[in-house]
Amino acid sequence: MSVAVEMSETTVERDNDAEPLLDSIDRKEDLLTTSVEEDSSSSNKIGPHGNKYSISSVRCFGVDLTPDNIAIALVYFVQGILGLSDLAVSFYLKDNLHLDPAETAVISGFSSLPWLIKPLYGFISDSFPLFGYRRRSYLVLSGLLGALSWVFMATFVDSKYGAASCLLIGSLSVAFSDVVVDSMVVERARGESQSMSGSLQSLCWGSSAFGGIVSSYFSGSLVDSYGVRSVFGVTALLPLITSAVSVLVKEEPVHGPARGLSLGNGFFESSKSSIFQLWGAVKQPNVLFPTLFIFLFQATPQSGSAMFYFITNKLGFTPEFLGRVKLVTSVASLIGVALYNSFLKKVPLRKVFLVTAIIGSALGMTQVLLVTGLNQHFGISDEWFSIGDSLILSVLGQAFFMPVLVLAARICPLGMEATFFATLMSIANGGSTLGGLLGAGLTQIFGVTKDRFDNLTLLIVVCNLSSLLPLQLLSLLPRDVPDSEENTDIEMISS
């Protein structure tokens, strides 16, 4: 199994949460913070701290649970709980449509394409208010679009092309809502210390992990008891939560295009200016080198789809058992968030990458024991071995990804939060998609099919060793900015 971290996204983009054994590594100080409602032109001028009075006495991960922050947490929670359909999708492609591992990997890669153009959604959200709002209205639209895609999966879809199209639409829904909520997060992170930025990201990804725990508890048993179509039907209700929580977002209405945009020459000039501003931010060494490193790290081949076929067709793992394993991985992800928030948010980025990559690659090799059956020689059953393996790798994977999110959030320039953060995440998602497609190609080359696993061991070894190659570029990462409670923004250079 290759060491790859899953991006923000449910459906098949958080896809390999659907295959818990496959891509588990496939995101001190609690500041006394207060907040008060401020007059602002957007949804997000309520920072985590800095005011004398507090409108919220309840905190989570050191962040006040204001209505805005509750809305953010709930959107991330929906992204996690949408994992309810992950096992159903995997079994639907394998058993109902009778696809091979390589075909399944290709459909997964195709379905993740909306995550590669997230800057477009950010530009739309930042620049073109819908019904007068830049955030609320797009959350409503994203939820409705996601619900529609799962309704089709539950009723009409009966081919791989139809399934790929619906999964693509569902992925688009989650990607767009992810961009919107990310923009709200980075607006709050601007000017905050590294610790508080880490607390914000911990709240978000902790909510997502909790949603994953809830969905994991039911995902396998629902597939066993009611079938994949019924699970798709239940999943169709979940995106509507995203639409509903939009009422909690504090946002002043905007009349006309944001930032003075208008159709015609003015629109194109402003678009050109935004692109130059974006490029001016991205080309800085403190941004470009970490982004390149993450892309290459994510682009290493993945053996996830092949392993899913092995554990279901060869080992006979049932949907109910895989649901239990998925529950373990979801809990492990939450532990990973807590681990980062408590101990790692001040650790230099280079050290986190180096240690987690090496340990992750080594632990990924343990799947060879499962494939060859050596685990049974040590008296460990396939089931218990799989649970333990997934637990450790999930904790490590989440702890690895959190610093990436913190760094990205803190360097977003004023006025284009959604666009910039989405650009960074899209580049990382592009690497993950490329890694999945490379894994599909290697699966085909090694002759691994739905009932032939002779070369699966070789595939796992190649994928895991390849994850160490990007470590040669570790020196390109900038040294971390010292933590302080002062404004620690990195200034952006406009072109």
State the pLDDT at residue 3.
Answer: 36
* 266 lies in some domain: no
Tens digits of per-residue pLDDT, 264-280? 455 566 667 767 777 77
Q: Are residues 359 and 237 in the same domain?
A: no
State the pLDDT at residue 14.
Answer: 38
* 170 lies in some domain: yes
Domain that holds residue 97: 60-251
Count of structural domains, the chain: 2
Residue at which a domain ends, from 209, 229, 251: 251
The CA distance from 393 to 3, in Å, is 9
pLDDT classification of 164: cutoffs 50, 70, 90: very high
* 390 lies in some domain: yes
* 464 lies in some domain: yes
pLDDT classification of 140: cutoffs 50, 70, 90: very high
* 490 lies in some domain: no
- Taking CB atoms within 8 Å and a gap of at least 24, the contacts of 154-163 are 154/229, 154/230, 154/232, 154/233, 154/235, 154/236, 155/229, 159/97, 160/93, 160/97, 160/99, 160/103, 160/107, 163/89, 163/92, 163/93, 163/97, 163/107
* 270 lies in some domain: no
SS3 64: strand
Q: Are residues 383 and 465 in the same domain?
A: yes
In this prediction, what percent of the chain has a pLDDT beyond 90? Answer: 16
* 18 lies in some domain: no
Q: Are residues 393 and 244 in the same domain?
A: no
Tens digits of per-residue pLDDT, 231-275? 999 999 999 999 998 888 877 777 655 544 444 455 566 667 767
Evaluate the CA torsion angle 25, 26, 28, 30 in order and state its sign.
negative
Q: Are residues 233 and 286 in the same domain?
A: no
Q: Are residues 396 and 303 in the same domain?
A: yes
Q: Are residues 134 and 199 in the same domain?
A: yes
Model-level pTM?
0.68
* 491 lies in some domain: no
Residue at which a domain ends, from 211, 229, 251: 251
pLDDT classification of 151: cutoffs 50, 70, 90: very high
Q: What is the domain-level CATH number for residue 237? A: 1.20.1250.20
Q: Are residues 89 and 160 in the same domain?
A: yes
